Structure 1
Amino acid sequence: MKLNVLGLILAASAFTSLAASAQTTVIEHRDDPVVIEKERPAATVTVKERGGLLGTEKTTKKIETNGDGCTTKTVHHDDLAGSKTVRKTDCD
């Protein structure tokens, strides 16, 4: 009889310890990092032509925005005297 009671007490204590460990189980779930790619906007190009007595003047302005936050503005000017290109880059 003592063995039955002892076995019953041992089984009850094992069951309560399993139930206690089930209550403290931590499940960790980690998602993969999310990568958001920004689309590069198309370059803005403006062309102006002006005709005069001495010939035609042509001015081309091009504005490009890079993915790294930099904006490049390029102005190209053609006339009778020659051509000139100026480029300016502005980064935030």
Structure 2
Amino acid sequence: MTGTHKVPLALLRHTESPRLAGLNDEHLHLLTQTDTAFPPILVHRNTMRALDGVCRLHAAMLRGQKTVDAVFFHGPLSGVSPLRSGPTFPTDSH
């Protein structure tokens, strides 16, 4: 994984949450109501798909943001496993 980058929302794939339960509407609503900066989302670099932070991505869109902070994952998507608590990533992702 790499350092944090400002990524235009228009470049990111707007997908469903990789979590088995999907997006949490109540959590999304709470995120849209805060003025606090979000932690970076995790993005698969080759596909520009959000791997973690999909609620934060959707909240940023609803708040009218043009960019979001992101960290890129450079490994294969086959190395990502969605779980109820969030995706897991192999340690040898370089």
**Structure with max Cα Rg:** 1
Higher relative contact order, structure no. (Cα contacts within 8 Å, ≥ 6 residues apart) = 2
| TM-score, L = length of structure 2 | 0.21
Give the strand-richer structure, 1 or 2: 1
